[in-house]
Amino acid sequence: MRQELKHALRVCLLPAVLAGLTFQGRAADPDADELLRMARMASTQQEAEVRGQLRSGSETSPFRLKVDFGRLRFAFDRPSRVLEVRLSEESSGVFDGKGMAVRKGMQEEVAEGSGVTVEDLSLGFLYWPDARLSGKDAVRGRSAWKIELRPGKRGSEFAVVRVWIDRDTGALLRIEGYDWQGKLLRRFEVVSGQRIDGQWMLKQMRIERFGPDNSSRPVGRSYLEILGKEAS
Average pLDDT value over all residues in the chain: 81
Residue 140: per-residue pLDDT: 87
Domain ranges of the chain: 2-45+114-229
DSSP string covering 161-204: EEEEEETTT--EEEEEEE-TTS-EEEEEEEEEEEEETTEEEEEE
**CA 140 from centre of chain:** 18
Q: Which residues pair with 225 in a beta bridge?
A: 53, 204
Q: Is the pLDDT of residue 74 over 90?
A: yes
- Read off φ and ψ for residue 119, nearest 5 degrees: -60, -40
The residue ranking higher by pLDDT, 36 or 208, is 208
The residue ranking higher by pLDDT, 187 or 19, is 187
**C-alpha to C-alpha distance for 70 and 46, rounded to whole angstroms:** 8
Instruction: Give CA separation, 193 vs 19, 129, 143, 161, 228, in Å.
Output: 16, 29, 19, 23, 11
Does the pTM of the predicted model rise above 0.75? yes
Residue 232: per-residue pLDDT: 61
User: How does pLDDT run across 112-164, given as a tens digit for each residue?
Assistant: 888 899 999 888 898 888 899 998 999 988 899 999 999 877 678 899 999 99
- Read off φ and ψ for residue 8, nearest 5 degrees: -65, -30
**C-alpha to C-alpha distance for 95 and 101, rounded to whole angstroms:** 4
- Which amino acid would we find at residue 4? E
Radius of gyration of the chain from its Cα atoms, rounded to whole angstroms? 17
Reported as a pLDDT band with limits 50, 70 and 90, residue 170 is: confident
CATH code for the part of the protein at 2-45+114-229: 2.50.20.10
Reported as a pLDDT band with limits 50, 70 and 90, residue 67 is: confident
